[in-house]
Amino acid sequence: MPEPAIEFREVTFRRPGRSPILDRFSLTVESGEVLVLVGRSGAGKTTILKLVNRLLSPDAGAVLVEGRDTREWEPIRLRRRVGYVLQDVGLFPHMTIADNVAVVPRLEQWPPDRAAARVDELLELVGLPPPQFATRWPDELSGGQRQRVGVARALAVDPPVLLMDEPFGALDPLTRAELHGEFRRIQGRVRKSVIIVSHDMGEAFALADRLGVVESGQLVACDRPAAIAESKDPRVRRLLDAMPAVPRGEEER
């Protein structure tokens, strides 16, 4: 069995003077798998992602990426190997779509024609035809289109690990379902090790290979979606009961 892509070992993280956000939190993401973490707002989901690319460092325990402690990684190298799709996308408003996607290739000093070819490839992949979108500006795009650009940007230098923070949170249900399908299609081709955090159980069922439930800084359940759906744990049931209906995304799997 290959080593896990990401591993949290008994990780504790706290803001000074407050109760811990993560309390001896452990988690494993296998290579090529999509793990969706679900929990209420404030359960520490974003913190988990930021610990992976070392925007934050654990107070106790260790986070391992590709078998190496994040504190041993050179942070710049680590971050360029970990694609990150932010909650509110965070596209650079002063750059065109193509320039936004090409940010990390430029940082890595790719030759311009190689970067340009990669941008075209990625925009095709996320369903934004380059002739139509490459030279446009972020504020000329709809929310769903911006999310796609965010995904393309995170994938630009083909990082083995992808982190997605509520990537489809701000979208209307139709666009959302459409993007869920797109995501499964893209993941089928690129096979990344992915952590997605979401507060929406429906989204989790639509996207996850495995599904984790985070509460009070701990992982209270983590299993295949079907097993989670059967769970008797009251903390899991509360989230399941809040779900409006069986999401359509699930059938697509």
Applying CB under 8 A, the residues found at the interface with other proteins are 53, 55, 75-80, 84, 86-96, 99, 103-104, 106-107, 135, 137, 139, 153
- Min separation Cβ 79 and other proteins, Å: 4
CA distance 1 to 144: 37
DSSP string, 44-88: SHHHHHHHHTTSS--SEEEEEETTEETTTS-HHHHHHHEEEEBTT
Residue carrying structure tokens 């495995």: 210
Instruction: State how far the alpha carbon of 97 is from the alpha carbons of 102, 127, 183, in Å.
Output: 9, 13, 19
Smallest distance from other proteins to CB 21, Å: 17
Nearer to other proteins, 40 or 80 (CB): 80
CB of 153 to other proteins, least distance (A): 8
Nearest distance, CB of residue 76 and other proteins, angstroms: 5
Identity of the residue, 159 or 225, whose beta carbon is nearer to other proteins in the bound complex = 159
By beta-carbon proximity to other proteins, the closer residue of 88 and 252 is 88
Name which of 101 and 207 has its Cβ closer to other proteins: 101
Residue closer to other proteins, measured from CB, 83 or 249: 83
Query: Which helix (H) or strand (E) is 207 found in, with range?
Result: helix 201-207
CA distance 177 to 34: 17
Helix (H, G, I), strand (E, B) or coil at 12: strand
CB of 195 to other proteins, least distance (A): 14
Give the alpha-carbon dihedral of 210, 143, 182, 247, to 10 degrees: 50
